[in-house]
Chain A
Amino acid sequence: MSLVITKELIAQHNLTDDEFKKIVEILGREPNLTELGMFSVMWSEHCSYKSSRVHLKKLPTTGPRVIQGPGENAGVVDIGDGLCVVFKMESHNHPSFIEPYQGAATGVGGILRDVFTMGARPIALLDSLRFGGLDTAKNRHIVKGVVAGIAGYGNCMGVPTVGGEIVFNDIYSLNPLVNVFCLGIAQKDKIFLGTAAGVGNPVIYFGSKTGRDGIHGATMASDSFDDQSEKKRPTVQVGDPFQEKLLLEACLELMAGDLLVGIQDMGAAGLTSSSCEMASRAGNGIDLDLTHVPRREPGMTPYELMLSESQERMLMVAKAGKEDECIRICKKWDLDVAVVGKVTGSGILRVLNQGTVVAEIPAKSLADDGPRYERPYSPPGYQDMLTNLNYDALPDVKDANAALLALLESPTIASKRWVYEQYDHMVRTNTMVRPGSDAAVVRIKGTNKAVAMTVDCNSRYCLLNPYEGARLAVAEAARNLACSGAEPIGLTDCLNFGNPERPDIMWQFVMAIEGMKDACEHFKIPIVSGNVSFYNETNGLSIYPTPMLGMVGLIESADKTMTQWFREDGDDIILLGATREDLGGSEYLKVQHSREQGSPPYLNLETEQAVQSCVLQLIRSGLVQSAHDCSDGGLAVALAECCMSGPDQTRGAVVRLTPDRQRNDSMLFGESQSRVVVSAKPAQRQAILEQAQQMGVPAGVVGAVGGVSLVIYVGDERSTTKTVDLPVATIADRWGLSLERRLSQE
């Protein structure tokens, strides 16, 4: 190739001059265009983690149950009985803004492949979504497209979407977030890794044909957006879930035999990343012959073939002599398949096309020797302005009924039924707790166990204090699991931030990592996989820092699974934990006072742990009928959810809250942490209160389940003012149909 590598060409590939110099050093010559393209994708932020790696190293990644930590396609955690769970979360933010349906759909496809490439059958998906407000047609279009895309892909695959969370805030209007979590089950002794071991072993391509779609997707995902972003639509891949379903079944059949050495999916940076990463992990090289790569159209150049991000493709390294059996299985599932190379001992990824060498790069340099940056970081000048809030200037709530209804109707808190009814959340017949409770729970067939999963992050807390926000996210995720009766066993993260070249953004990132680290170390929860998404900014406006967490918990005895809704009239309502003056960063301040300010709620990790242990203990000893954590919207919203989120019928409640100097609004809507609402038969009252006292957890009976209204008295026992008095039918209607009503606007 005689093309001259110009400065413009280097810049177009998002490489800096220094990075280019390093490439020349590695090769001992200038790269050709194909090689430049390969370096540019592998050294992109998306693939190389060049800004984040030095900080990610601080996170705790080990533990007695951890079988595989970060660095592979997904993390693996032991659940006993010879089984393990394989899970990961990934972002597909940039593509989902450009083309919502396909962006979200291929996000689902990508994370599914990450999980089944490890030898696991995917059994659950969850999504964490962030959108702008629903008052603009554009935002409604993005919401509908993303939801349809997730449904279109996941439903067809037959993997249930069992839960998730959605937050609406205008900061995400031009940078929506689509983070997809997937969990699979595998036999502990049948985990497959992406390694090209064994010189001479054949390298086999299978799945879809390679086309011109998605070229430079990884580079696109490593750049900020401007008004021209929609022109990047051709870099978004197009998904084919049917093909992926065939790929899944073929992979699991291949893995059942004694055929494979290593396997990896072709995700970001396609054939380039899968080949060089597998070679690098084994310390080997690969000779790759593009001549045999199945392709959709003639005339594709080596550059295009190596960079294509066509979906539903895999690369496997088979045991020598097993090629025919591998090919037979792929053909049974009607997949394209071809031997495209072999493992060498050279350490070089050598790419050939029609007998000519078109690229020759040390595999390790491409996969692991990308630049590492210790980017400068410092808090932004506006940080104090965000946290300083004079509460005295804000009047206390006058009409608590109206305030509660407004909160229940706010899209962030409102029921997400319109969304999850479009997702098949029951296929595979494992779903014990469906979407709409604190955590989703699926049973593990063949055992007495169940696995609980939750995805959480309050990004407003993270904006106001990224360190505290990250700690709070870990605490809330663990609390959600505890309320389901599960003990946390592992965590995956998806760290969504703005442009890391800006010191204020980098500061948010570093602080969030520190917060996650401290909380995870305290709770002894290992982080086993994850993903970083930087450059979530458009026209210089960055998203709130959003370190999304996907946490997995184990329920040893599936019959001890708990849900959040009230179950029986006459039951006691007991509040575990203390209510402080915690209005900062609350949904109430945003909805009622249009403020996203203040300090996030106070969190003491010891207290938090005590509350969680107490809830778990109460659930395991069968003392409680329901358990629900207090989060967005505070205690009043939590109580309303307990009344109306049950699958079959709603229930009323009468509650009395006695403030300890707090304002009424902070009593009702403040988001004090480490609080759980449980309900229980009155006969269990004494046992519960004693148990809580033993564990050092404040607990008190605050009311009783029953009636057709939610009534809350705020004041001492003499007070007869019903601060909140709403028919459950009314709150259920406003909360249940809010999203649907907003989305049906033209």
Chain B
Amino acid sequence: MNVGVIVFPGSNCDHDCQHVFQNVLGQSVQMIWHKETSLKGIDAVILPGGFSYGDYLRTGAIARFSPVMGAVKAFAKDGGAVIGICNGFQILLEAGLLPGAMLRNKSLHFICKDVHVKVENAATAFTEACESGQVLKIPVAHADGNYYTDPVTLAAMQANAQIVLRYCTPEGKVTPEANPNGSLDNIAGIINPEGNVLGMMPHPERCAEDILGNRDGKLIFQSLLKAMKVKA
């Protein structure tokens, strides 16, 4: 599989995503500078974490105007698989590829720690290597991960099983205490109605190797490979 990792000015998890796909999963990776306008030959697109354009305005608000985003939208419209992680998720929201918006964390602080998320929908291209209801331990690292959307959209997302990951306790209970940032409905990750675009706040690329003490994140990428019928 040929994975395209988009590099915005200020992206800082681009190398981490490259490392996982290349060295852990043995796939070929192309780093795509944000000024490029074509995604030719790319099988899946990753929008990595970081602080695109410094995020001095709203997170992702400037990145969505980057030239490459036109190509990303077209790619997604054609059914191409797109994963936005952390800042990548924020950019997908700003670009309208996923519904909703991010508010500042309830604590008003940046939060970096392991959290647990429950796989609410294991029938997606990004979770099919997981069991339904499986609890994954994956770290978060963000200041703006407090997901919000209007009640109508939320209801539609719930009805369509678009809420893929919810913050939960280690035992899998979705409780307010397990919610690290105040996110609506404990939302940690969502997909679009078509199921080919995923946005998630936790960083699966940070927990995909034994040497880092945790491989839960690898399941997200293995799901993608499975869906794309690629051997890892």
The chain A residues found within 8 Å of chain B, CB to CB, are 148, 151, 155-158, 240-243, 245-246, 333-334, 420-429, 431-432, 443, 445, 558-559, 647
Contact = CB atoms under 8 A, between A and B. Distances in A.
Contact of A156 (B54, B109, B113): B54
B9 A334 contact: yes
A427 B13 contact: yes
A443 B205 CA distance: 16
Given A423-B112, A443-B211, A155 B15 contact: no
Contacts of B56: 242
Contacts of B216: none
Given A155-B141, A443-B211, A428 B54 contact: no
A158 B23 CA distance: 20
A282 B114 CA distance: 50
Given A242-B56, A429-B212, 18 more contacts: A151-B110, A155-B112, A156-B10, A158-B51, A242-B9, A242-B53, A245-B9, A246-B9, A420-B112, A421-B111, A422-B110, A424-B110, A424-B141, A427-B141, A429-B16, A429-B205, A443-B211, A647-B114
Contacts of B114: 647
Contact of A242 (B54, B143, B211): B54
B211 A158 contact: no
A245 B51 CA distance: 10
A227 to B, nearest CB: 32
Interface in B175-221: 203, 205-206, 209, 211-213
B12 interface: yes
Contacts of A429: 16, 19-20, 205-206, 209, 212
A241 B141 contact: no
Interface of B: 9-10, 12-13, 15-16, 19-20, 23, 49-51, 53-56, 109-114, 139, 141, 143, 203, 205-206, 209, 211-213
A424 B112 contact: yes
B54 A426 contact: no
B211 A241 contact: no
Contacts of A427: 12-13, 16, 49, 141, 206
B107 to A, nearest CB: 9
A426 B49 CA distance: 12
A443 B16 CA distance: 13
B19 A426 contact: no
Nearest to B112: A424
A242 B10 contact: yes
Contacts of B50: 158
5 contacts: A242-B55, A427-B206, A429-B19, A429-B20, A432-B211
A523 B205 CA distance: 39
A201 B139 CA distance: 48
Q: Which 7 pairs of residues, A with B, have the shortest CB-CB distance? A: A158-B12, A242-B54, A156-B51, A424-B141, A429-B16, A424-B112, A422-B110
A333 B35 CA distance: 11
Nearest to A144: B109
Given A240-B54, A432-B212, A558-B211, A155 B110 contact: yes
Contacts of A334: 9
A427 B209 CA distance: 14
A426 B12 contact: no
Interface centre among B19, B23, B110, B209 (most CB of A within 10 A): B110
A421 B112 contact: yes
A426 B139 contact: yes
A432 B56 CA distance: 31
Contact of B16 (A151, A156, A428): A428
Nearest to A152: B110
A426 B138 CA distance: 11
A245 B206 contact: no
A34 B31 CA distance: 47
A467 B112 CA distance: 39
